[in-house]
Amino acid sequence: MSSNPVAETVASLMPRAKAELTELVAFKSVADFDQFPRSESEGAARWVADALTAEGFQDVALLDTPDGTQSVYGYLPGPAGAKTVLLYAHYDVQPPLDEAAWTTPPFELTERDGRWYGRGAADCKGGVIMHLLALRALKANGGVPVHVKVIAEGSEEMGTGGLERYAEEHPDLLEADTIVIGDAGNFRVGLPTVTATLRGMTLVRVQIDTLEGNLHSGQFGGAAPDALGALIRVLDSLRAEDGSTTVDGLTPDTSWDGLRYDEEQFRQDAKVLDGVRLIGSGTVADRIWARPAVTVLGIDCPPVVGATPSVQASARALISLRVPPGIDAAEATKLLEAHVAAHTPWGARVRTEQIGQGQPFSADTASPAYAAMAEAMAVAYPGQEMQYAGQGGSIPLCNTLAALYPHAEILLIGLSEPEAQIHAVNESVHPDELERLSVAEALFLRTYAAS
């Protein structure tokens, strides 16, 4: 990184950043209070609130959102007449999955092979630290030239929409000229990237019932309708032979026009086993950024250990459908539910229940804020030009903010590059990415203020 005062300040703050991220990662802030104590999320929220207060933020508040979680808000005034920028991150995290599969404990930030490992290190507690670093660097080098609002969400990973509904009920709170969502990531370590599109998502629970109760498979099997077998037939109908998603009425063949994703590189990033083929057709970018994708997230059925020779009377599954820009998530949900009903065999009784939804998002990359970010990233990443990529994941808040504030420019950056393995075991963040993106955000705020 070329020498400049902002970069030098951020470099000097990195030991503090590591210590703070260690503290924040230690909170088991999974917003599923059936599995994790509410006190862990509340502790993380208080940590963020205290950090904002220490940086001179005003009106710092723990917002009780309608889904029973807390989001943290703060306002840092800038010069009179300055623009307002909203900085977003979330402090809640995904469950650690199988803790025994982690090389080091998931809630203990651990340095290994040049990376910092821990749940939320990249997604998205690292984003909270990135915002703090950027603001501290500006304060040490002439001051923050814009009004800054920070919002740290407490239930983004659960998709329960608490902050979205709160923002709709308090439309003035998050209003800004530009919004920086710190929950995306570079296409690759060292390659500065803004995310131009996000797929939306719908979550649907499917319940199939065929019998009043389980039956002996020897006495009744072969004629008695098996609910688990029916569910398997339904789930299989959601994919073509090559693995492409096939929901009746949903367009499957849109294309991505932008950054290419090499297939072999994708295999490495996804850690696909040797000899196993990728699914779908078209380019990798088409498949993960521009087309719908169905995933079976879970099935309720008897485990292998302890299973009895029974015909199953009931079975359930949770299905995720990622929805690309250009398709309305509510309409996709209707198509998915209709598909499930149409493909349920043997007259089995089927019920569907939507339990979460977020619309896809597409940014205006021709806006002045994007020009300012390109200039800032060129300094933070010498010799590299800012790239535009899509992201297969969903951030439902983006569409809420775009609807509430149609004049606002929305940029997505962050620490979740492929090696970060967000949502998986051994999640990590590369400290160089944290340092460079903090520099880029600080320089962006300065450049944008002057534009």
Q: Rounded to the nearest 5 degrees, what angle is found at the Cα of 185, between the Cα atoms of 181 and 191? A: 125
Map residue 361 onto helix, strand or coil.
strand
Of 156, 409, 417, 433, which one is the catalytic site residue?
156
Burial class (CB in 10 A: 0-12, 13-18, 19+), 46: middle
Beta strands in 210-340 (DSSP E): 215-216, 293-300, 310-311, 314-323
CA distances from 104 to 110, 207, 288, 307, 405 (A): 7, 38, 30, 34, 42
Q: 92 an active-site residue?
A: yes
CA distances from 28 to 1, 20, 44, 114 (A): 34, 15, 8, 24
58 vs 200: CA distance, rounded Å = 34
Longest Cα pair distance anywhere in the chain, in angstroms?
82
Q: 156 an active-site residue?
A: yes
424 vs 94: CA distance, rounded Å = 9
**H-run or E-run covering 69:** none
* Tokens 């009106």 sit on residue: 59
11 vs 86: CA distance, rounded Å = 24
Of 20, 40, 55, 92, which one is the catalytic site residue?
92
Beta strands in 94-221 (DSSP E): 110-112, 115-117, 147-153, 178-181, 193-198, 200-209, 215-216
* Residue 86: count of CB within 10 angstroms of its CB: 23
225 vs 380: CA distance, rounded Å = 62
Instruction: Report the half-sphere exposure of 32 (CA within 13 A, side-chain side).
Output: 10
Map residue 61 onto helix, strand or coil.
strand
Burial class (CB in 10 A: 0-12, 13-18, 19+), 404: middle
Q: Are 81 and 65 in contact (CB under 8 A)?
A: no
Q: Are 154 and 65 in contact (CB under 8 A)?
A: yes
309 vs 320: CA distance, rounded Å = 30
**Which residues belong to the active site?**
92, 156
